[in-house]
């Protein structure tokens, strides 16, 4: 059947999804499936459960391990990097380091100016009088 015929019959021309998306299961759903799998007593009942839900046995294995670790008991763990708590002392140290760097640059500039003034005075033959500080 051609795409033109399918268009007239009302069916979709293409049934393939443009981009597959990963399935995500909620904690409640995982708990429910693990409970149901644990309650299965007859041979093949777990396989039937997995087929009915469209799951793999590895899902069940992973979720049982998560339950043993206590990850399915409460609130799901937030994804992403752990948030760093900024210590106010670290902030103050960084600020002081910037200030020290700024004063050091200023002192270097002042020393360069004094050296330049000495060179100019030596060229002009006028000695500089230095006052004790």
DSSP assignment of 86-125, as one string?
A: PPHHHHHHHHHHHHHHHHHHHHHHHHHHHHHHHHHHHHHT
- Asked if the model's pLDDT at residue 45 lies above 70, the reply is yes
pLDDT of residue 5: 57
Instruction: Write out pLDDT tens, residues 58-105.
Output: 999 999 999 998 888 876 667 788 888 888 899 999 999 999 999 999
Q: What is the mean pLDDT of residues 10-35?
A: 82
85: left (phi over 0), alpha (psi -120 to 50) or beta: beta
Token pair 């043993």 is found at: 68
Element (H, E) at 31: helix 27-39
Tokens for 110? Answer: 């002042």
Regarding predicted confidence, which is higher, 24 or 10? 24
Query: What gap in Å lies between CA 116 and CA 110, rounded to an integer?
Result: 10
């Amino acid at each position: 059947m051609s795409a033109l015929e399918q268009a007239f019959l009302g069916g979709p021309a293409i049934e393939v999804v443009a981009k597959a998306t990963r399935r995500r299961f909620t904690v409640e759903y995982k708990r429910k499936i693990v409970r149901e799998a644990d309650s299965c007593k007859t041979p093949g009942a777990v396989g039937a459960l997995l087929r009915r839900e469209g799951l793999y046995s590895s899902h069940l294995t992973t979720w049982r391990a998560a339950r043993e670790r206590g990850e399915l008991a409460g609130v799901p763990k937030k994804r992403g990097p752990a948030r760093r708590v900024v210590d106010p002392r670290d902030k103050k140290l960084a600020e002081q380091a910037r200030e020290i760097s700024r004063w050091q640059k200023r002192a270097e500039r002042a020393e360069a100016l004094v050296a330049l003034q000495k060179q100019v005075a030596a060229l002009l033959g006028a000695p500089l009088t230095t006052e004790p500080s």
